[in-house]
């Protein structure tokens, strides 16, 4: 980022010019700035200065400067959107991360209470995932996570909220869903994962994996902490009962 003295010098060169400074020259100065905030600062200052001083030499440049400002504001919005995505989405799977999971769960919890509609959650963990990393390497583990995430995306409604909250742990929020229906979709997910071939680069044949799933229908006066705890308890019971199971108690 340029310091203010440097930016002000660029502004002064244009505003006080007693001859025409072409848009190409201004663009060359602006191209030295990698930061959109700097460009907006400079172009706004130039535009204001030209209008105040009524610099006749530079009147033809004003539309160009206005265009630069509009483009840089658009770039800033895009950068902000990308940063927000990075802050809330797991880069490997494209699912929401733990932070956004908590935010969404809080929101759906309030909606469920307000509309008096059922809300259920699914917590699932890939069985023996560590052995895949240990045997085939972390790239293979990443392939497993991406493949299983794709299976999960195809398993749920558009209103359901899919999150990756840990290494091989996933959390799905099911608005307007009672436990009975949650059990049905969870077992469908379990079966689809079990039969999904996973291609990894180091192996000629695909590998397979299973998942253990805990289901919890949210009651009254719940918090995110109690919901996570109850879902995790049911996941533990699914693993304890032999893995590749769905447990709602």
Q: Which residues are catalytically annotated?
A: 168
Taken in order 12, 18, 24, 25, is the CA torsion positive or negative?
A: negative
Cα–Cα distance, 154 to 148 (Å, whole number): 10
Question: Starting at the edge strand that comes first in sequence, how are the strands of the sheet with 119-126 ordered?
Answer: 161-164, 169-175, 119-126, 211-217, 246-247
* Measured distance CA(93)–CA(37) in Å, rounded: 32
Q: Give one word for 181, left, alpha or beta, with left for phi > 0 and alpha for psi -120 to 50.
A: alpha
3-state secondary structure of 159: coil
Q: In angstroms, how far is the first alpha carbon of the chain from the final one?
A: 57
Q: Which H or E run includes 162?
A: strand 161-164
Q: What is the Cα–Cα distance from 178 to 167, expressed in whole angstroms?
A: 28
- Is 47 within 8 Å of 69 (Cβ atoms)? yes
Contact present, 234 and 214 (Cβ < 8 Å): yes
* CA dihedral (230, 236, 242, 243) positive or negative: positive
| Distance from C-alpha of 105 to C-alpha of 76, rounded to nearest angstrom | 30
């Amino acid at each position: 980022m340029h310091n203010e003295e440097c930016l002000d010098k660029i502004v002064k060169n244009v505003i006080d010019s007693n001859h025409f400074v072409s848009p190409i020259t201004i663009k060359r100065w602006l191209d030295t700035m990698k930061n959109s905030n700097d460009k907006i600062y400079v172009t706004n200052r130039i535009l204001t200065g030209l209008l105040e001083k009524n610099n006749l030499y530079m009147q033809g440049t004003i539309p160009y400067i206005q265009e630069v400002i509009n483009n840089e504001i658009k770039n800033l919005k895009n950068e902000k959107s990308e940063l927000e995505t990075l802050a809330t989405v797991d880069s490997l799977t494209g699912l929401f991360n733990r932070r956004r999971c908590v935010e969404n769960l809080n929101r759906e919890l309030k909606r469920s209470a307000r509309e008096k509609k059922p809300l259920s959650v699914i917590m699932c963990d890939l069985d023996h995932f560590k052995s895949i990393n240990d045997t085939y390497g972390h790239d293979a583990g990443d392939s497993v996570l991406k493949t299983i995430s794709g299976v999960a995306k195809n398993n749920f409604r558009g209103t359901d909220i899919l999150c990756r909250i840990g290494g091989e742990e996933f959390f799905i929020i099911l608005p307007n869903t009672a436990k009975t229906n949650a059990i049905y979709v969870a077992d469908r997910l379990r079966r689809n994962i079990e039969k999904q071939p996973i291609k990894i680069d180091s192996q000629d044949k695909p590998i397979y994996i299973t998942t253990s799933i805990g289901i919890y229908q949210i009651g009254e006066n719940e918090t995110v902490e109690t919901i996570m705890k109850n879902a995790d308890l049911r996941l533990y019971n699914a693993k304890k009962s032999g893995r590749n199971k769905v447990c709602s108690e």
